[in-house]
Amino acid sequence: MVLEKESPFPSYIYNVEKLRSLLIKSYNKNSSISRALPKLFDQLKCLRSLDLSWGSIKELPKEIVKLINLRYLNLSNNHDLLELPETLCDLYNLQTLDLTRCGRLQKLPSGIGKLLNLRHLDNWETFGLRSMPKGMRRLTCLRSLKEVVVSDGCNGNKTFTLGDLANLSYLRGYLKIRGLGNAGDVTEGRKAKLHNKKDLFGLTLNFDSSTARMCLEDMILEALQPPGNVERLEIRCFNGPILFPSWLNSSALAQLRHLTLGNCRNWTLLPPLGELPSLESLQISNMNGVKKVGEEFLGLRKEEGQTSTPSSSSPMIAFPNLKSLRFSNMVKWKHWINCEIPSTGVAEMDNAIMPQLQSLDLQSCGKLKALPHYLLRLTSLKELSVDWCPVLAEYCQKEWPNISRIPNIRLDGVYVQRSSH
Strands 408-411 and 414-417: antiparallel
Q: Which residues contact 54 (CB under 8 A, 6 or more apart)?
A: 25, 26, 27, 76, 77, 78
What distance in Å separates the CA atoms of residue 281 and residue 258, rounded to the nearest whole number? Answer: 5
Tell whether the model's pLDDT for residue 209 goes beyond 50.
yes
Share of the chain above pLDDT 90, in %: 73
pLDDT in tens, 156-198: 678 999 999 999 999 999 999 999 988 877 888 899 999 999 9
73 φ, ψ (degrees, to nearest 5): -135, 120
Residue 317 identity (one-letter amino acid): I
pLDDT in tens, 39-90: 999 999 999 999 999 888 999 999 999 999 999 999 999 999 999 999 999 9
Rg (CA), the chain: 26
The confidence score (pLDDT) of residue 126 equals 96
Tell whether the model's pLDDT for residue 310 goes beyond 80.
no
**Residue range 326-354: mean pLDDT, rounded:** 79
Per the CB < 8 A criterion, the answer to whether 20 and 48 are in contact is yes
Residue 93: CB atoms within 10 A of its CB come to 14
Residue 79 domain-assigned? yes
pLDDT in tens, 249-284: 888 999 999 999 999 988 999 999 999 999 999 999
- pLDDT band at residue 26, thresholds of 50, 70 and 90? confident
Residue 304 domain-assigned? no
Residue 5 domain-assigned? no
Residue 236 domain-assigned? yes
Residue 169 domain-assigned? yes
Tell whether the model's pLDDT for residue 313 goes beyond 70.
no
What distance in Å separates the CA atoms of residue 355 and residue 353, rounded to the nearest whole number? Answer: 6
Size of the chain in residues: 421
Tell whether the model's pLDDT for residue 240 goes beyond 70.
yes
Residue 314: CB atoms within 10 A of its CB come to 7
Task: Please state the domain count of the chain.
Answer: 1
More confident residue, 32 or 415: 415
Residue 310 domain-assigned? no
Per the CB < 8 A criterion, the answer to whether 214 and 240 are in contact is yes
Residue 145 domain-assigned? yes
CATH number at residue 373: 3.80.10.10
Residue 200 domain-assigned? yes
The confidence score (pLDDT) of residue 51 equals 96
Domain that holds residue 141: 11-299+318-339+349-417
- pLDDT band at residue 154, thresholds of 50, 70 and 90? low
